[in-house]
Amino acid sequence: MARDSTPQVTGLDVRVTTVPTDTPEADGTLAWDSTTVVLVRAHGGGLTGIGWTYAPEAAAAVVRDLLAGEVVGRSAWDVPGGNEAMCRAVRNAGRPGIASCAISAVDIALWDLKARLLDLPLTALLGATRDEVPVYGSGGFTTYHETRMAAQLGDWVHGLGIGRVKIKVGEAWGTAADRDLRRVREARDVIGPHAELYVDANGAYSRKQAVRLGHAFTESGVSWFEEPVSSDDLTGLRVVRDALACDVAAGEYGYDLPYFARMAASGAVDCLQADVTRCGGVTQWLRAAALAAAHGLEISGHCAPHAHAHVAASVPNFRHLEWFHDHVRIESLLFEGVLDPGGGAVRPGADGAAGHGLTLRPDLTRAFP
């Protein structure tokens, strides 16, 4: 294509929506009853790309006030250039947190726009290493009654054929360990002996408590212990990792590459987690995956499954994608073209649809300015 016909990014718009949870939810260290989504649309060449992040409404102001001016007018092909400009633009606002969530939403929209302009699935534009992206069912909130948890896990394992599930533990900052142990045993009873069982304490336990409980969880066949202690306690993660047979994982609060570099280099995890809607979008998630590979680690996609599916397929050291109850529900409410996790994997790009293959539901399209 001749240079003067290169499409430019002509505009961004942002919309915020808050979706109540279907029941009150909590993990070991936080409770919530709604989720806020910041949706970004990037326009150019007569087409529109869609990106999003799960973040407070303030992320939308960051998009409008600090980021839009950095990408509007750029070539739609030069997504990493736009990403770099956005990262530089938030210097004084502070990159980790809301600013990085905002950058992520814009970056995802820009990659989607580029793939749509080239009429390619995003997985084809990035280049695939796999057709199928394994997923694991993620929910099992500490607020769930035992029958609710059993129904959710049973639906994933026995209904959809997803052979990996994760529940929350560490209830009330680790002060309800007996119930944690009981729920883990109940989860194993529901899913049967062969499905993989994961737990996520969201940093609720102390180091020694995590080691003691980790040994007990292992008796129920738990093979993945996420954030057994705070993910800021890299030494503690390493202590727990060295003491237990199961994998220790963390990384969901990684907003920039130095965070992932410190975590990987300290030997804190067996598998690095990264969230494409937080870490700086597709551009930075690919770099986090390369960084993990350099340390001999696999990478797992944290939440926002439809934002991860295509980039996950492009990475050779990818382990699995979190099929998170809240976000699966919200992405199905927002978008047409959502993926089918039947059999335990999604197949991004299999239908040949351009970009990430999602379109806003018509009523939401009308709600945009």
Residues that bind Mg ion (CB under 5 A): 200, 226
> Cβ closer to Mg ion: 324 or 335?
324
199 in Cβ contact with 136 (< 8 Å): no
Block residue for tokens 């899913």: 191
Q: How far apart are CB 256 and Mg ion at their closest, in Å?
A: 19
What size, in residues, is the chain?
A: 369
Name the residue whose CB lies closest to Mg ion. Answer: 200
Closest contact distance (angstroms) between CB of 300 and Mg ion is: 10
- Rounded to the nearest whole angstrom, what is the least distance from the CB of residue 272 to Mg ion in the complex? 13
If the CB atoms of residues 186 and 275 are measured against Mg ion, the closer one turns out to be 275
Nearer to Mg ion, 196 or 226 (CB): 226
- Closest separation in Å from C-beta 203 to Mg ion: 9
Minimum CB distance to Mg ion, residue 198 (Å): 10
**Which of these, 135, 134, 152, lies nearest to 143 by C-alpha position?**
152
Separation CA 119–CA 108 (nearest Å): 16
Is 200 or 233 the residue whose CB approaches Mg ion more closely? Answer: 200
Q: Which is nearer to Mg ion, 231 or 314 (CB)?
A: 231
Confirm if 284 and 236 have CB atoms less than 8 A apart: no
192 burial (CB, 10 Å; 0-12 / 13-18 / 19+) is: exposed
C-beta closer to Mg ion: residue 111 or 225: 225
Give min distance, CB of 158 to Mg ion, in A.
Answer: 24
Burial profile 4-32: b = 16 or more Cβ within 10 angstroms, e = fewer:
eeebbbeebbbbebebebeeebbbbbeee
* Cβ 359 vs Cβ 336: under 8 Å: yes
Please state the closest distance from residue 322 (CB atom) to Mg ion, in A.
8
Angle at which helix 207-219 crosses helix 234-243, to 10 degrees, equals 30
Nearer to Mg ion, 301 or 355 (CB): 301
Residue 162: how many other CB atoms lie within 10 Å: 24
**Are the C-beta atoms of 18 and 85 separated by less than 8 Å?**
no
